[in-house]
Amino acid sequence: MADKKDYYETLNLNQQASEAEIKKAYKKLAMKHHPDRNNGDPESTETFKEVKKAYDILSDPQKKSMYDQYGHAGVDQAMGGGGSGGAGDFGDFGDIFGDIFGGGRNNQRSNVYRGADLRYNMQISLEHAASGTETKIKIPVMSTCKPCNGSGAKKGTQPTSCATCQGLGQVRMQQGFFSVQQPCPNCEGTGKTIEDPCSDCRGSGRKEISKTLSVKIPSGVDEGDRIRLSGEGEAGLNGGPTGDLYVVVGLKPHAIFERDGANLHCEMPISFSTAALGGSLEVPTLDGNAKIKIPAETQTGATFRLKGKGVKPVRENSYGDLHCHVAIETPVKLTEEQKKLLSKLEALNQADSGKHSPRHKTWVDKVKDFFD
């Protein structure tokens, strides 16, 4: 009897080949030598049988280990001295792709599905975002049906394996050379049939309920931040794990402040006289009031920074700053006496050739240059 061909040599591999390399080599050679692609050529048929047998051995960790230690003697005894099939057992292309990608006829399809993740949009105040808070929310969610414990069958009964697909959830359809898998039309891919469905969930195994949850908002959260509540999403199917709930934070508009990351900004209106003569102004912050000294001759657009009066973001260790932007307020509803005083002031300013309004004088000079 001629010596049996080495299985690694059959697949053009060495003994150090990885599982992925073995699968890749088998797929390539099986597609090349499959009898359906070679009009039943005897030589291709024999080669295909050798390739398939080599893969059957080397793809099985236990058989591969025996073969690596004892050669053909180690696996022939374990297989009862038989080959990988009869003369007509070539398999189809579905078997080839199934062995490679885990969808072969001997591999049952998993009908267990993880529950969907849920999203809840929560609007909170700037104060709560900065300091943190705890609140309760109420959400509708698909939960495991308690009377049937998620089986979908009436209490005291159990689902049965689908007779059409034998519980696989898929059936094979032959299309030419290829064998195509598709969801079983009888059980819709679940692999089971329910003769007497649960009246609460109507056989789905899940039921919508309203659930109240407590959500802890950490200090420093910002617009768009997500808080994950593990296992508070929808229930899985057929005993699958529950999904998660993601609470997405949104900030309500604030009457005074605008947030920019760790920093806060606010507009600080001051009177004309305070801007000209100087003074002090009390401004609000998130943790109380603070005083700002306004120097004389302050102009619109000037910014005063209060260090450390901003927000400490979740992933940072220090507080931002509060930026107060000056806006000089024009007096309104003036009395006759106020109007006379302002007119007199304006006349005095003009008499000094723009000395008291340097920005206005510079702007006028630029306009003249433009037209000249």
pLDDT per 10-residue tile (average), the chain, 372 residues: 72 86 88 79 86 88 78 62 43 48 45 84 95 93 87 87 82 69 79 86 86 93 93 83 92 95 94 90 92 92 94 93 93 91 84 68 73 74
Q: Which two tokens stand for residue 281?
A: 């102004």
d(CA 108, CA 98): 11
Fold of 111-155+203-253: HSP40/DNAj peptide-binding domain (2.60.260)
Identical fold, 111-155+203-253 and 258-330: yes
72, 115, 223, 261 from 122: Cα distances, Å: 66, 22, 10, 19
- Rounded to two decimals, the pTM is 0.58
- CATH among 3.40.50.720, 2.60.40.420, 3.40.50.1100, 1.10.287.110 for 7-101: 1.10.287.110
Q: Which residue has the tokens 């050679």?
A: 29
pLDDT of res. 325: 95
C-alpha angle 53-54-55 in degrees, rounded to nearest 5: 90
Partners of residue 246 on adjacent β-strands:
119, 228
User: What whole-number distance in Å separates Cα of residue 212 and Cα of residue 246?
Assistant: 14
